[in-house]
Amino acid sequence: MTERIIKVGELNTGKLNHICDVEGVLVGHKTIIYDDIRTGVTAILPHKNNVFLNKVIASSFVMNGFGKSIGLMQIDELGTIETPILLTNTLAVGKVSDSLVKILIEENPKLGTSLGTVNPIVLECNDGRLNNIRKIAITFDDVKEALDTANTNNFQGSIGAGTGMVCHGLKGGIGSSSREVELDGKVYTLGVLVNTNFGHSSSKDLIVNGKPIGKQIQKEQANGEEDKGSIIVVVATNIGLDNNSLRRVVKRASIAIGKTGSYVGHGSGDVFVGFSTANSISATEKSAFLNQTVLSQKYINLLFQAVVEATEEAIYNSMLYSLETKGYLASVKTLKNWIKDIR
């Protein structure tokens, strides 16, 4: 585990305190920085095998729908995901989706014919303050690199899709955290990865672990815009859940966002996707029935606690691991400048 800068909640973290603590989950990044470009791609792979051929149970929840994500409709209709989850900037969604489809066709020659079409999952936040988003700088090679380099790294902050993000008026980006829960004498893991780009731009409402640190930070900032932006939350677990239970779990991530001082403003795109690696569904399954292990909802409160704690800590990590950045239209500091006030 890298240094745990801030401790949130009571449950134990996994070894990495990262979404990759969920066995099989891999994360890759492509960071793009040059001239007025501050952007990138982050890829989350539910497992190392071919996801299209080995789908996982999934669900999504939209807290506020000011967003342009791709793939959510089929997730909610069929209750599975069949591609890696890619994060990027708002105007690059089409380009990244197109690249992902081309890569999947190369990996699955029968895709689009006997295997049917594919539902690419691309989630976005608007990095237009630090990145000249209109240039749509991301290429096919950038998407492929993010996928090809995916591993169990625990890199966070100003990386990949988080390169140009701003959260609560400070540098946001990629953050992650995990929690362990014990069920029937066995330890399971729930992990969260976020891309943070939300909150009031003057930091005035920021709360960190119950401390209204934003009031101190605001003294060094000009008045900012209202609460708007976006956050993407990806939840992974190795606990067997059906898609309805997953939806109940991922919805609780909204509590963590509120605990940081956000009221989920009108202009915010707050999108959550969750998946379980416990049950795999083959694209070539012949049987009329599927055998799956599913948690009794009598024990789901443990997962509610885990996702709230992990999401809140992941949001703080996205800011604490980020670098001060001078970008296209603004310059932003990092929350780490106020670490003494937090502790």
d(C-alpha 296, C-alpha 52), whole Å: 28
Identity of the residue numbered 173? G
**Residue 71 pLDDT:** 98
Identity of the residue numbered 185? G
d(C-alpha 67, C-alpha 38), whole Å: 20
**Residue 162 pLDDT:** 98
**Residue 223 pLDDT:** 57
Question: pTM, whole model, 2 decimals?
Answer: 0.96
**Residue 224 pLDDT:** 60
Residues in the chain with pLDDT values less than 70 = 1-2, 220-228, 343
d(C-alpha 284, C-alpha 287), whole Å: 9
Q: How many residues can be counted in the chain? A: 343
What is the DSSP secondary structure assignment for residue 12, as one 8-state letter?
A: P
Q: Express each pLDDT in 244-255 by its tens digit.
A: 999 999 999 999
Instruction: Answer whether 151's CB lies under 8 Å from 28's CB.
Output: yes
Helix H or strand E segment including 97: helix 93-107
Name every residue whose Cβ is closer than 8 Å to that of residue 31 and which is 6 or more positions away in sequence: 40, 158, 159, 160, 163
Instruction: Answer whether 175's CB lies under 8 Å from 193's CB.
Output: yes
Question: Which class for 25: exposed (0-12), middle (13-18), buried (19 or more C-beta within 10 A)?
Answer: buried
d(C-alpha 22, C-alpha 308), whole Å: 17
**Residue 291 pLDDT:** 85
Give me the domains of the chain, ranges plus CATH numbers. Answer: 19-284+292-342 (3.60.70.12)
**Residue 290 pLDDT:** 83
**Residue 202 pLDDT:** 77
Strands 54-65 and 80-81: antiparallel
Helix (H, G, I), strand (E, B) or coil at 27: strand
d(C-alpha 300, C-alpha 306), whole Å: 10
Sheet with 26-34: strands ordered across: 26-34, 37-45, 85-89, 121-125
What are residue 60's DSSP bridge partners? 273
Rg for the chain, CA atoms, rounded: 19
